[in-house]
């Protein structure tokens, strides 16, 4: 059970062997891979690097994850693409998957373009995507003007 999709494997989801993962985590990871990650990889034609996908509760707490993080259920992943800034990825995902995603976050870097993003397939709130920006100090805030303009450009309802 190594291959998850054409370009993603279970080792990217977790270091835990897939047969030892809870069934809801396997279902969530498969949904995220099939509906968002693999289609994204196909559209971009570029490698997508997954830095954090499933986290067990102990690992999630050790990295300062939210107590009910979508990472706990396998439905969230933090990603980057070498050839794209976080803001470029943010726009790509809002444009192409804004109607599927439940959450999207942009994480700070010095150029304020973001170094990576978080995408997830949580249940939507009032058919809106939950969006946020993580500042240099580690504070989570509502999307800034650049992110808001991207949501507006693609007619994507959001909550922050």
Is 1 part of any domain? Answer: no
Return the pLDDT at 138: 83
Return the pLDDT at 131: 96
CATH number at residue 80: 3.30.1380.10
Is 125 part of any domain? Answer: yes
| Mean pLDDT split into 10-residue runs, the chain, 160 residues | 89 92 96 98 97 93 90 96 94 97 88 80 95 88 94 96
Is 4 part of any domain? Answer: no
Return the pLDDT at 111: 57
Q: How far apart are CA 88 and CA 44, in angstroms?
A: 11
Number of domains composing the chain: 1
Which residues are CB-contacts of 128 (< 8 A; sequence separation ≥ 6)? 157, 158, 159
Return the pLDDT at 2: 76
Q: For residue 62, how many other CB atoms are within 10 A of its CB?
A: 10
Instruction: Give me the torsion for CA of 47, 118, 72, 124, rounded to 10°.
Output: -120
Query: In Å, how far from its chain's centre is CA 47?
Result: 15
Return the pLDDT at 114: 66
- Count how many Cα atoms sit within 13 Å of the Cα of residue 108 in the half-sphere of its side chain: 12
Domain ranges, residue 107? 10-159
Is 3 part of any domain? Answer: no
Task: Say if residues 128 and 160 touch (Cβ distance below 8 Å).
Answer: no
Is 37 part of any domain? Answer: yes
């Amino acid at each position: 059970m190594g291959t998850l999709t054409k370009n993603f494997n279970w080792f990217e989801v977790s270091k835990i062997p897939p047969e030892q993962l809870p069934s809801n985590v396997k279902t969530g990871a498969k949904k995220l891979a099939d509906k968002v990650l693999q289609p994204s990889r196909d559209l971009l034609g570029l490698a997508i690097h997954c830095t954090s996908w499933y986290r067990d509760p102990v690992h999630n707490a050790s990295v300062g994850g939210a107590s009910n993080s979508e990472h706990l259920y396998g439905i969230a992943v933090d990603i980057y693409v070498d050839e794209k800034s976080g803001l470029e990825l943010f726009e790509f995902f809002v444009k192409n998957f804004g109607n599927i995603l439940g959450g999207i976050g942009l994480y700070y870097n010095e150029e304020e373009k973001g170094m990576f993003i978080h995408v997830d397939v949580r249940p939507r709130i009032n058919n809106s995507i939950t969006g946020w920006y993580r500042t240099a100090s580690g504070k989570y805030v509502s999307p800034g003007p650049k992110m808001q303009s991207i949501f507006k450009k693609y007619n994507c309802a959001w909550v922050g």
